[in-house]
């Protein structure tokens, strides 16, 4: 059973009701963040909080709680969950609006959720993604705007793919809800713009520093053709190999040794978190 | 007091609670429509229903009610409101999602609201709008995506303007929540693409047929320079003159006779609705 904090009150999540005049609902005006615990402790809490704060600032939403207050609530909610580890979702919206357009007082929801891990077979075989000519508006803000990928759901299923890789004007940005990396020799390359700056991405870049030359820069679609390996990173995906992108097979068409190596480094880090 | 229908139940609007796993809230995946009654009867009901149905189809959301069922609920809600006339809002979202991304069963909200009419002084003086280089994604679908205008709220207030006119690549589309027209001589000109096809827009075009040459086509920013008049149309604005666009004064800087004429025709129509 999961609980949630909503504007000052903690309740079981299925009892929380968001008012119909909330700008998150009426105008898509909201942002969120999502992280998880390892060994019961929120992973990279400082980084997540900073990102959440930045998103709120960019969307002109005042945070109703301080970092310490929020951390206490997060730990309270984790304590109430029946699981060893849980995911935590923050949702900050424009809140109740008297005229359905002006912001008066943002609404904050914090809740725990089940972790939906990626299946082991996906790590063993790698995933397939389709390509789509698109870039998210304000990609660097973790807004709730995911219309585009939901509209693409049928195309993804139809291609027996698991996700989509966005590109625009020949430049790659990110997957629908995770970051993108390629490996060429000892170079680890990841786009630096039109992306949400993932915390797992940042963690992996840090872990890779000793063994790779890490390049954070614009990445062209054409660079996929001679990539040895590709993978995606996110809270739930960790380091997940990508073996097909559109019609293109990456490397040998199966997860490569360097992606596996980075996944192992990541798993070592979280095991001792 | 207003009531709302939410997934099968009618309640006072302040008692309706939307679940925290609704894709409208978590993923901005929702669409809406908004219309009003005149003399207690929904204005242009057939047109609004058709548009709502089209928006739902474009967003792959199955409507849970037929047109007749919906009309009965609308009339029931209007009957419960204490007002001679009311606004009606439909909100259709992706609904509850087990994994916060897949659509299972859309949620439908129908509620009455107060009508917020434009003040008489705005019709007498006309309004000022700022310009912004932007085009809505899927503009022809009445999605809930209004992040952009909410982010612009400070810029609009700072310019002592009332709204924003969007343009992209030199071409005008629409205001943030209403359509745009210019008048040159006896020509009434309005953009035909990258817009939400407004019902008031359509009504005005129909009313204007006898007296104007109506042109529905791409409209360039540069055409503003020799426009005699400009106005915007929406359910709440009816035919509202625009007298300043960015740094440009339109015509004499006050509402022109042809905009007033069209407003009068519109008011005659709704008086006898």
Q: How far is A38 from chain B (nearest CA, A)?
A: 20
In this structure, what token pair is assigned to residue A207?
A: 């872990």
Q: Percentage of residues in chain B with pLDDT exceeding 70?
A: 100
Query: Residue A22: its chain B contacts at CB < 8 A?
Result: 18, 25
In this structure, what token pair is assigned to residue B52?
A: 């709502």
Given a cut of 90, is residue B82 above it in pLDDT? no
Domains of chain A: 3-113 (3.30.470.10), 120-271 (3.20.10.10)
CB pairs under 8 A between A and B: 132
How far, CA to CA in Å, does B259 sit from each of A14, B126, B243, B247? 52, 10, 11, 21
Burial class (CB in 10 A: 0-12, 13-18, 19+), B257: exposed
Q: How far is A83 from chain B (nearest CA, A)?
A: 18
The answer to whether A91 and A144 have CB atoms below 8 angstroms apart is yes
Interface of B with A in 118-137 (CB under 8 A): 137
Q: How far is A30 from chain B (nearest CA, A)?
A: 8
Q: Measure CA B73 to chain center.
A: 22
* CA closest to B151 among chain A residues: A59
- Who has greater pLDDT, B137 or A12? A12
Interface of A with B in 1-40 (CB under 8 A): 4, 6, 13-14, 16-30, 32
Q: What is the pLDDT of residue A84?
A: 86
Residue pLDDT, tens place only, B51-61: 999 999 999 99
Residues of chain A with pLDDT under 70: none
Which pLDDT band, with edges at 50, 70 and 90, does B201 fall under?
Answer: very high
Which residues are within 8 A (CB) of B271 and not within 5 positions of it... i.e. 6 or more apart?
A: B38
How many Cβ atoms from other residues are within 10 Å of residue A120's Cβ?
A: 8
Q: HEC string of B25-56?
A: HHCCCEEEEEEEEECCEECCHHHHHHHHHHHH
Which pLDDT band, with edges at 50, 70 and 90, does B99 fall under?
Answer: confident
Distance CA B47, CA B235 (A): 13
Residue A14 and residue B19: Cβ atoms within 8 Å?
A: yes
In this structure, what token pair is assigned to residue B80?
A: 């419960």
Q: What is the pLDDT of residue A83?
A: 81
Q: A107 in contact with B at a CB cutoff of 8 Å?
A: no
Given a cut of 90, is residue B12 above it in pLDDT? yes
Given a cut of 90, is residue B100 above it in pLDDT? no
Can you tell me the ipTM of this complex? Answer: 0.94
Q: What share of chain B is helix, strand, coil (3-state, %, to 5)?
A: 30, 30, 40
Query: Residue A17: its chain B contacts at CB < 8 A?
Result: 16-19
Q: B111 in contact with A at a CB cutoff of 8 Å?
A: yes
How many Cβ atoms from other residues are within 10 Å of residue B266's Cβ?
A: 18
Interface of A with B in 76-95 (CB under 8 A): 91, 93-94
The answer to whether B104 and B95 have CB atoms below 8 angstroms apart is yes
Residue in A147, A154, A158, A234 to test binding to B, most B beta-carbons within 10 Å: A147
Question: What angle (nearest 5°) sits at the alpha carbon of residue A230, between those of residues A228 and A231?
Answer: 150
In this structure, what token pair is assigned to residue B175?
A: 């205001």
Q: B160 in contact with A at a CB cutoff of 8 Å?
A: no
Q: What is the pLDDT of residue A25?
A: 97
Residue A20 and residue B30: Cβ atoms within 8 Å?
A: no
Q: What is the pLDDT of residue B113?
A: 95
Q: What is the pLDDT of residue B136?
A: 93
Q: Which of A19, A101, A153 sits opposite B150 (nearest CB)?
A: A101
Q: A98 in contact with B at a CB cutoff of 8 Å?
A: no
Burial B174-203 (b: 16+ CB within 10 A, else e): bbbbbbbbbbeeeebbbbeebbbbbbbbbb
What is the total residue count of chain B? 273
Q: What is the pLDDT of residue B247?
A: 96
Among residues B251, B104, B111, which one has the least CA distance to residue A153? B104
Mean pLDDT, rounded, for B134-144:
95
Residue pLDDT, tens place only, B235-265: 999 999 999 999 999 999 999 999 999 999 9
What are the strands, taking DSSP E only, across A43-103?
Answer: 87-93
Q: How far is A204 from chain B (nearest CA, A)?
A: 25
Mean pLDDT, rounded, for B92-116:
94
């Amino acid at each position: 059973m999961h609980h949630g904090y909503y504007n000052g009150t903690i309740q079981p999540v299925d009892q929380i009701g968001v008012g119909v005049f909330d700008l998150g609902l009426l105008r898509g005006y909201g942002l969120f963040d999502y992280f998880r615990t390892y060994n019961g402790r929120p992973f990279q809490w400082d980084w997540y909080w900073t990102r959440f704060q930045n998103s709120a600032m960019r969307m002109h939403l005042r945070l109703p709680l301080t970092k310490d207050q929020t951390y206490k609530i997060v730990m309270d909610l984790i304590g109430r969950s029946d699981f060893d580890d849980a995911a935590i979702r923050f949702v900050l919206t424009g809140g109740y609006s008297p005229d359905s357009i002006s912001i008066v007082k943002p609404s904050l929801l914090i809740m725990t959720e089940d972790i939906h891990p990626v299946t082991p077979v996906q790590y063993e075989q790698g995933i397939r993604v389709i390509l789509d000519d698109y870039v998210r508006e304000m990609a660097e803000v973790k807004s709730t705007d995911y219309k585009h990928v939901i509209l693409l759901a049928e195309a993804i299923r139809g291609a027996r793919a698991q996700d989509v890789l966005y590109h625009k004007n020949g430049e790659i940005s990110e997957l629908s809800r995770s970051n993108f990396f390629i490996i060429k020799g000892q170079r680890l390359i990841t786009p630096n713009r039109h992306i949400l700056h993932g915390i797992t991405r940042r963690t992996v870049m840090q872990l890779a520093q000793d063994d790779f030359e890490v390049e954070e820069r614009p990445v062209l679609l054409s660079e996929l053709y001679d990539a040895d390996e590709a993978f995606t990173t996110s809270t739930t995906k960790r380091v997940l190999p990508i073996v097909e992108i559109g019609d293109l097979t990456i490397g040998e068409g199966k997860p490569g040794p360097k992606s596996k190596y980075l996944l192992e480094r990541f798993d070592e880090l979280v095991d001792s978190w």
